[in-house]
Amino acid sequence: MKVWGEGPLVIKIAGLAGGVRVFTEECKTAAADGFRVAAVDTRGDRRDDPAPGPLGWDALSEDIARAMDELGDERAVLWGTSFGALVSLAFAARYPDRTAGLLLAVPPAPHWQPGLYRWVLRRISSGRFRAPLSRGVLALAMVLTCGWEFLYPTVIRRVPTLFREARQARTPGKTYAEKSALLCAQTLELPGALREIPISIVGSSLDLLAPTAGTRRLAERLPHARYLEIGWAGHSVSWSRPKTYHRLSLAELRRLTGRSG
């Protein structure tokens, strides 16, 4: 766990793989704006912190609660990206009193995916992508289908840093498979106390990993959720359009924590 800044606590949660430190830039940006930001890797996100057992929503939520205990805070805003947004929802369902708000960045819809999306998830969850070569093929497929943003100059400049952090995390294939299985199973329970929890959702108009059709459906299912969409960006919006993404994210963090300005 890495912590930056002082102020209301915000916990950053990573996606399917690569570790949370690939989001260091946005964590530091939020810290400079007056937030205490803790980047939390859940179990299995890093090869040096393997999951002791099968991954599940309960276990992932416990990791966040444990991090909050270590930080000495009772409540926090959870800021999850992609799969991390679903971990945020799982935590809020189990610990509503500890959830000050949710900022969900490019979340995949937990109960709706296109047919091709489900097929890929089933392939990953079957364990066929655990071998290094298979994971390489999967990574290449992801770049070709949704990583077109790597053509953006803003992303190209960040590639060395992102590659270094992802390589250091070396997320195990077991984690890929078990997180994908959680998505396939569609067992995520949406928090019953959401009417009392402020929520912001940031989607991308050209996202092929978390299509806007599903993201909008998720927003409709969450009472009083505020939905914002960034144009001309995909799943890597925080790197392809960082200025717009940071501006919207900081504004929503202020709203979720009751800050003005």
Evaluate whether 62 touches 163 at the Cβ level (below 8 Å). no
Which region holds residue 189: left if phi is over 0, alpha if psi is between -120 and 50, else beta? beta
pLDDT value for 144: 54
Q: 152 and 240 in contact (C-beta within 8 Å)?
A: yes
pLDDT at 42: 96
Mean pLDDT for 73-78 is 96
Q: What is the pTM of this model?
A: 0.91
The tens digit of pLDDT for each residue in 128-182 reads: 555 554 555 555 555 555 567 878 999 889 988 988 898 899 888 788 878 878 8
**In this predicted structure, what is the pLDDT of residue 111?**
72
The C-alpha atoms of residue 89 and residue 100 are separated, in whole angstroms, by 12
Domains of the chain: 2-257 (3.40.50.1820)
The pLDDT value recorded for residue 145 is 55
Check whether 246 has a pLDDT greater than 80: yes
What's 149's DSSP letter? G
